[in-house]
Amino acid sequence: MTSSRLLRAADYPRMPWKNGAGSTLEIARDAGDGLDGFGWRLSIADVGESGGFSAFTGYQRVITVLEGAGMRLTVDGRPSRCLTALDAFAFDGGAAVSCELLDGPIRDFNLIYSPKRYAARLQWLRAEGEVRLFSSASTLLLFAAEAGVGVEIDGQSTQVMGRYDCLHLEAGGALAEVKLNGGACCLIELTPR
């Protein structure tokens, strides 16, 4: 049986960045306190100026611009493509990373996870009509980039998510059926190694 918990954007706690240069809204994590000990963590960051990123050695990061014109990252001296809205980009959390904002502040969405502890998959979906998918991941996270995304799990009643809400599902590896309707959302699948 899949258990679910709807996390509302208005309730996300604000935490300082590891490098002290800004703050993050923490959406969810599997364990740990502060910025240590977690196997996976989801967050939203407001980036007001170009500069360096915090290092998370031993972790993999996937970042997506949610609001603003976008940014370009430099990862260990190599420039990324221009990253614009809903274009996910993955990089090593221990790399030396800096960002250059393309045209003013941005807001971004982050998955940070330990590849030694979890296998992870992240994809952005646009549910103009109904999108149906099946997953046997232990943990499923559905993050709404827009208000009004409807989610039905295993034929149960539909929950409607607001902008930046997140539905956290624990399926324990059982096959879960997910139906999405009504907007852009990110599906993250996590399975312990």
Confidence band of 35 (pLDDT split at 50, 70, 90): low
Q: What is the pLDDT of residues 83-99, one digit of tens each?
A: 999 999 999 999 999 99
* pLDDT for residue 78: 97
Residue ranges of the chain that CATH labels 2.60.120.10: 11-113, 118-192
> Residue by residue, what is the 3-state secondary structure of 138-180?
CEEEEEECCCCEEEEECCCCCEEECCCCEEEEECCCCCEEEEE
Q: The whole model's pTM is what?
A: 0.92
Q: CATH class for domain 11-113?
A: mainly beta
pLDDT exceeds 60 at position 68: yes
Q: 118-192, which class in CATH?
A: mainly beta
Q: How many CB atoms lie within 10 A of CB 108?
A: 22
Q: Which of 65-69, 71-75, 83-87, 179-183 has the lowest mean pLDDT?
A: 179-183
